[in-house]
Amino acid sequence: MRFGFFAKEALRALRRNAVPSFAAMATVLVTVLMLGVFIPVVQATTGAANEVRSRVLVDVYLKATATDADAERVKVLLEKTPSAGKVEYISKEAAYQAEKKRLPQYYKLLGKNPLPDTFRVTPERPDDIGKIKGHLTPVSPSGGRTTIDAAIGEVREHEENSSKILSATRVVKLTTGLLAALLVVASVLLVANTIRLSLYARRREIEVMKLVGATDWFIRWPFVLEGVLVGAIGGLFAVALLAIVKFALLDPLRSDFTLLAATQTMNFGVLMAILLGAAIAVSGLGSGLSLRRFLRV
């Protein structure tokens, strides 16, 4: 009904305020472009960090004398350990086969299997690895460390430098997360500020509209539509540029660079849809909400 009128008003405003409208669109374009590049980078970095962290494991070696009943008991015990996730049993034969394949010449020399039965425990969260180790090797009354079950020979971290991996990846994840949050906040503020400036330049106009009897919503709708249009146009241009960069530049390179190929990032289409939606929503809502201050006449 009124939509036609409001849309025409919005278009008129865009045309008559070409410079501020263009500035607002350019702002949306640049911010969407930035986010469109940065979000996959953050995701790839976080993904890589998580991949490294998932290699943090606890190996529980059984004594050579351990029986099947012992193994069964230890398995139950490990599964009940707090913070422990998956518990994987690797028999001495399986371990022997795997290691022989990895280092054939050494194992040929050895001749017989020196490896114990092993349980490999994945912590629910990589950071809990110390807790699990502590639980499995409590402090004995005499001061040293014992194991929680007599059948357990040794408890070891699978990687030598788990703690280094953990702290390094934690720093990486934290920084990229922080950067991403800052960038999103900065983008919203930038777009909001551009909108506020363009509204401020038109506050007299808004005042006049009120004085001749326009209701708040009668004034607001064209501004909201204008914001939606600015967001949509700026966002679409940015998405188009990102698509060109992705399909024309990155995809052909993907086969040559393992880093590009290995990254697990959000589906491109989904990311673009989210960014475009956010651009439209921030711009439209921003216009509608910023207007409130100027409607008090």
Partner 1 sequence: MAATERHVRRLHRSRDDGARTAPQPVPATQAAAAPVSSPIAPAAPVIEFDDVSKHYGTGNVGLDGASFTIHPGEFVFLVGSTGSGKSTIMRLLIKEYEPTAGRIAVAGRDLSQIKRKQVPHYRRNIGMVFQDFKLLPNRTVTDNVAYALQVTGSGRREIREKVPDILRLTGLSTKLHNYPDQLSGGEQQRVAVARAFVNHPPLLLADEPTGNLDPETSIGIMQLLYRINRTGTTVVVATHDHNMVDRMRRRVIEVSKGRVIRDEKVGSYRVQDESTREFGALLRGQDA
Residues near partner 1, by CB under 8 A: 2, 5, 12-13, 16-17, 204-205, 207-216, 218, 297
| Minimum CB distance to partner 1, residue 210 (Å) | 7
End-to-end CA distance of the chain: 27
* Rounded (10°) angle between helices 216-244 and 3-16: 60
- Is the Cβ of residue 181 or residue 297 nearer to partner 1 in the bound state? 297
- Is the Cβ of residue 185 or residue 208 nearer to partner 1 in the bound state? 208
Sign of CA dihedral 157, 159, 161, 163: negative
Taking Cα atoms as reference points, which of 76, 120, 78 lies closest to residue 98?
A: 120
- In single-letter form, the type of residue at position 199 comes to L
| Minimum CB distance to partner 1, residue 15 (Å) | 9
| Minimum CB distance to partner 1, residue 8 (Å) | 10
Task: Please say whether the beta carbons of 195 and 287 come within 8 A.
Answer: yes
* Rounded (10°) angle between helices 203-211 and 162-201: 50
| Minimum CB distance to partner 1, residue 233 (Å) | 20
- Is the Cβ of residue 98 or residue 297 nearer to partner 1 in the bound state? 297
- Is the Cβ of residue 120 or residue 210 nearer to partner 1 in the bound state? 210
- Is the Cβ of residue 106 or residue 200 nearer to partner 1 in the bound state? 200
| Minimum CB distance to partner 1, residue 272 (Å) | 34
Sign of CA dihedral 205, 281, 184, 263: negative
Neighbours of 128 (CB within 10 A): 17
Helical (H) or strand (E) element with 258:
helix 258-262
| Minimum CB distance to partner 1, residue 24 (Å) | 16
Task: Please say whether the beta carbons of 58 and 136 come within 8 A.
Answer: yes
- Is the Cβ of residue 64 or residue 208 nearer to partner 1 in the bound state? 208
